[in-house]
Structure 1
Amino acid sequence: MSTKTSRFLAVAATSLALSLGIAHAAQPDAPMGGPGGAGGWHGHFMKELSQLHSQLNLNADQEKQWQSALDTMKQTHEAERANHEQMKQQFKAMQQQPILDLNALHAAHQKVEQQDAQLREQSANAWLAFYNGLNDQQKTTVSTALKQRFAMMEQRHEKMRERWEQHRGAAPGGASTLKP
């Protein structure tokens, strides 16, 4: 398998994990923050997750892998949140010093980044184990859902790019600030 193909598969698996993870975070026992409050985008992701789950018609072993992947992802999310809070507290403590120790701050940041990368890898591996246990029809269902998610992400990205270009190109009085 080429490096480009394996990189694409890793991105796809991570996207699946993130999409499913955000949806999982929207479950009733999870805190409901973020845009739109209780119903906002969390509800949308939960609906997508439920639809995908029901379309897959999982057998008992596949259902165990699904639940294992969800649990791993939930633990990953909680650990990343704790890492972020720890980093925030360290930074607050460092701010009390008359001279910031940027080396210590950088080292702490690198440590958290490495821990978070390991956690994300565990979550991606759990989702890949789930995906690898699916039959071709189920993989097609997941692939279709991912392709739709990728297309939606690309549309959002394009809209943001257009807005940025409009914002960058617009000057007071309608004159462009861009030089030819």
Structure 2
Amino acid sequence: MNPILRGSSRYLATAAAALAVTFGTAYAAGGNVSPTGPDGAAMQGGPGGWHGHGPFMMERLNALHARLALTPEQEQKWQTALATMKRNHEAERANHEKMREQFKAAQQQPILDLDALHATHQQIRQQSDALHEQTATAWLAFYDSLNDQQKTTVSTELKQHFAKMGSRHEKMREFWRQHHGAGGAGSQPTAP
């Protein structure tokens, strides 16, 4: 078994919640894609950006939403999850901007106040964790409202997404091994 995937069923529940939040973030981000990043690829703006995957994920989310044939109660939970996620995403962007501004101001000082920077980072991290938990709770409430057939549809979509993520990670690991890893084809000999 892949060492990354080892763990308890709690890991799978957390991963499913994280993916639900991921799907929700992509859905809320919509077409809000900013110009290209340093590598020339389109990048989503703000923290937790989609690096050009926003429109593709939107299509997948819209297709999934349509396949679920939600009841009015389920649709309300979907909308509540989206609203929670959008609100929390904006709060995270504001926190990120606050941290960026503090760092910018700190750079103007002759001596950095690392304690203050760390304290702000920790505060923002705690706020971010709380926002992530609120968003995950809203998406899990939506998921829990689904019937078995709808959960199967969502589960199939999530499993396909997990497989694609695993494949991408494996390709990245292989690339790293070839170019930087021990015994890789691209590794440079070390000086004696």
Q: 1:36: how far off?
A: 3.5
Q: 1:69: how far off?
A: 0.4
1:10 maps to 2:14 = yes
1:32 maps to 2:33 = yes
Flag the 1:62–1:166 CA change in 2: closer, same or farther, 3 A.
Answer: same
Q: What's 2:156 paired with? A: 144
1:161 maps to 2:173 = yes
Q: 1:17: how far off?
A: 1.3
**Letter of the structure 2 residue corresponding to residue 125 of structure 1:** T
Aligned length in residues? 171
Aligned partner of residue 73 in structure 1, secondary structure: helix
Q: What's 1:115 paired with? A: 127
Q: Which residue, out of 30, 33, 41, partners 2:53?
A: 41
Q: 1:37: how far off?
A: 7.0
Q: Which stretches in structure 2 are left out of the alignment for 5+ residues?
A: 1-6, 45-51
Flag the 1:168–1:130 CA change in 2: closer, same or farther, 3 A.
Answer: same
Q: 1:115: how far off?
A: 0.3
Checking the alignment, whether the CA contact within 8 Å between 1:17 and 1:127 is kept in structure 2 is yes
How far apart, in 2, do the equivalents of 1:73 and 1:49 lie? 14
Flag the 1:170–1:8 CA change in 2: closer, same or farther, 3 A.
Answer: closer
Checking the alignment, whether the CA contact within 8 Å between 1:52 and 1:142 is kept in structure 2 is yes
**Letter of the structure 2 residue corresponding to residue 146 of structure 1:** L
**Letter of the structure 2 residue corresponding to residue 22 of structure 1:** A
More contact order relative to length (CA 8 Å, sep ≥ 6): 1
Q: 1:22: how far off?
A: 1.4
**Letter of the structure 2 residue corresponding to residue 50 of structure 1:** N
Aligned partner of residue 91 in structure 1, secondary structure: helix
Aligned partner of residue 180 in structure 2, secondary structure: helix
Aligned partner of residue 90 in structure 1, secondary structure: helix
**Letter of the structure 2 residue corresponding to residue 6 of structure 1:** R
Structure 1's consecutive aligned runs of 4 or more residues displaced over 6 angstroms after TM superposition are none
Matches within 5 A, 1:88-103: 88-103=100-115
**Letter of the structure 1 residue corresponding to residue 103 of structure 2:** F
TM-score, normalised by the number of residues in structure 2: 0.81
Q: Which moved more, 1:6-15 or 1:78-87?
A: 6-15
TM-score, normalised by the number of residues in structure 1: 0.86
Q: 1:10: how far off?
A: 1.8
**Letter of the structure 1 residue corresponding to residue 10 of structure 2:** S
* Aligned-pair identity (%): 52
Q: Which residue, out of 57, 61, 68, partners 2:80?
A: 68
Q: Which stretches in structure 1 are left out of the alignment for 5+ residues?
A: none
Q: Which residue, out of 85, 89, 106, partners 2:118?
A: 106
Flag the 1:159–1:175 CA change in 2: closer, same or farther, 3 A.
Answer: closer
Checking the alignment, whether the CA contact within 8 Å between 2:95 and 2:124 is kept in structure 1 is yes
**Structure with the higher helix share, 1 or 2:** 1
